[in-house]
Amino acid sequence: MIFDLLAERYDKWYDRHREIYEKELRLIRKPKKPSLEIGVGTGRFCEPLGIDIGIDISKKVLEIAKNRCEVIRADACNMPFKDEVFSTVYIIFTLCFLENPNESLKEAWRVLKKDGRLIMCVIPKDSGLGEEYSRKQSPFYKIAKFYREGEIEKMLEESRFEIVEVRRTKLKYSENDFVCYECGKVI
């Protein structure tokens, strides 16, 4: 797995691109507790946002993240949590790396409380940044599958989420570079 091989390189990206990272952080709402981040990576969002627990399947990124938040090694499609335990579930940049995003979203729905919120942040394929990243030969982006906004909205709907708010910010090209969906559960 690429994140096990290059965990430190991935983590250092945030230091080299501090301005972009800070713009992303400003757009993401802080959680209602208890909270979970699916695909926590090295914990770069978990710590400053105050997210309680992060999961990831990569051992190496979790070794870094454990210094920033509580972590558990787990698959997004089969999380070791009871039903309806989290008030906020985050999926930040992870959607493009998930093998089965629909199953992961259904699992997020399962662990989210009835009145909870899913906050999913993406770089859409149909944005300038999404187009750039799709062409890059980065070891990370070579394995990523970027989705158009319409595809993301369809996935959310099929997983029984209702979009409550959409927030956007310009990172490089336009306001569509970084999009955060805030969603509630459809019961």
The per-residue pLDDT for range 24-33, each reduced to its tens digit, is 999 999 999 9
* Cα separation values, 88 from 40, 85, 146, Å: 14, 9, 24
Task: Tell me what the mean pLDDT of segment 155-170 comes to.
Answer: 98
User: Does 137 score more than 90 pLDDT?
Assistant: no
Average pLDDT over every residue of 50-65: 98
The pTM assigned to this predicted structure is 0.96
pLDDT score recorded for residue 134:
84
Region 2-185: CATH code: 3.40.50.150
Going by pLDDT thresholds of 50, 70 and 90, the confidence category of residue 139 is: confident
